[in-house]
Structure 1
Amino acid sequence: MNDVDAQIRRQSLALSASELHGSLCGWLAGGSTLKPDWLSRLLLDDSLPAPDPGSPFDRLARGTAAQIGDRDFAFELLLPESDASLAERSGALFDWCRGFVGAFGLAAGAQPPLSEEGQEALADLARLAAAQAQDEGDDSDEEALVEIEEFVRVAALLLHGDCALAARDRQRLN
């Protein structure tokens, strides 16, 4: 995460590593594919250069595409470590959701082919994207955050299945 944050600062981008990862995941889940210009297309900024091979952004993109498409569910969210404060971790999770929802809409369009579960998952992610981090919490808040992180992870995989994987499967059948 630190190398992605450093790359974000070097390029003066106005988002966090978690939000960038969420955006990339939403982009892929919505059916877009990785191309050399993925960053400029994702952030809607034609002035952004394509990530250099081996750069933090390149590694993030390749790793994310491999994880989200992994049938063994190895997909993980890019969030602060568990020793970070509750406020930092919950804020990063909400940033991740904001990035995901925005990029998913960009990639999937206004009427994505979602299952009923996918529609509910997307609505829940949108609610999380609108949430604000709390400054303090107790053990029950910590447990709730872990459960929410797992929900978000599974929701992203469900939406990827509904839009990206289902579209690829339909193309193979035709």
Structure 2
Amino acid sequence: MSANLTVDPEDIAELIGRCKLSVSVSEFHGSLVGYIAGGGRFPGDSVLAALSLEPDPAPTADEEAMLNRLRHQTDEWLADPELTFSPWLPDDDAPIPERAEGLVDWIHGFLGGLGLGGSVERNQGMSDDAREVLKDMASIAATEFEFDADDDVNDESLTELEEFVRAGAMLLHAELSRGTPPANDTLH
């Protein structure tokens, strides 16, 4: 996919603001990743409808096309053997509490997206590792973070959690989307 077609968090932040969606950028991205990982279908090619988000006003045709590009971009990154996938979280130089909140938002979105994508019905064949990842993600999402006085320790711990979530999302995508025929793959 060429760079000029790549959708970035700022594009989605603008859409969230204009369409008055009640999610953060991190939660939106987590929802999309969870939905794709869970093998979700996109009814009428609408990303927002699939994620049960109700825009007011509705996205423009250009915004719908951008959401579809993001959907395909995310699917490609999740499946990329070069491990290019990364959750959309606050920048590493953001305050640690903001980063922790972004991670929790992303996980909440991811777990909700998995449910919307239908993975709950298919998880009987899930590996023990995948079940453990889901359990651990739910635990992280329910955590009230307490920060050490040493920001280096906090940064290192948060970075480890972010990497765990990134790898966990890729593992769950590999397991849960396996055998799922591709959703409507037309690019607009």
Query: TM-score under structure 2 normalisation?
Result: 0.79
Matched residues in 2 for 1:5 and 1:42: separation?
A: 16
Residue 92 of structure 1 aligns with an amino acid whose one-letter code is: G
Q: 1:18 to 1:133 in 2, by over 3 A?
A: farther
**Structure 1 match to 2:186:** none
TM-superposed deviation, 1:127? 1.1
CA distance in 1, matches of 2:106, 2:148: 20
Pair 1:5–1:46, CA change in 2 (3 A): closer
Residue 101 of structure 1 corresponds to which residue in structure 2? 111
Contact 2:21/2:54 (<8 A) preserved:
no
- Aligned with residue 13 of structure 1, among 17, 21, 31: 21
1:38 corresponds to 2:56: no
Moved more, 144-153 or 65-74: 65-74
Aligned-partner Cα distance in 2 for 1:52–1:132: 40
1:79–1:33 CA distance, 2 compared to 1 (3 A): same
Q: What are the residue-to-residue correspondences of 1:61-140 with 2, within 5 Å?
A: 61-107=71-117, 108-112=119-123, 113-134=125-146, 137=149, 138-140=151-153
The answer as to 2:159 corresponding to 1:146 is yes
1:12, distance to aligned residue in structure 2 (A): 0.4
Counterpart in the other structure of 2:173: 160
Larger CA deviation: 71-80 vs 107-116: 107-116
Cα deviation code 1:18-39 (max 9, x no counterpart): 0000000000110124562121
Mapped contact 1:121–1:155 kept (Cα < 8 A): yes
Shift of 1:114: 1.2
Structure 1 residues 32 and 125: CA distance shift in structure 2, 3 A: same
- For the 8 Å contact 2:20–2:55, the answer to whether it is kept is no
Shift of 1:156: 0.3
Change (3 A) 1:6 1:141: same
The two structures, once aligned, show a CA RMSD in angstroms of 2.5
Q: State whether residues 21 and 55 of structure 2, in contact with CA within 8 Å, keep that contact through their aligned partners in structure 1.
A: no
Partner of 2:185: none
Give the Cα separation in 1 of the matches to 2:21 and 2:147. Answer: 25
Counterpart CA distance in 1 for 2:46 and 2:27 is 18
Q: What runs of 5+ residues in structure 1 fail to find an aligned partner?
A: 169-174
Aligned counterparts of 1:132 and 1:81: Cα–Cα separation in 2: 21
Deviates more, 1:92-101 or 1:80-89: 80-89
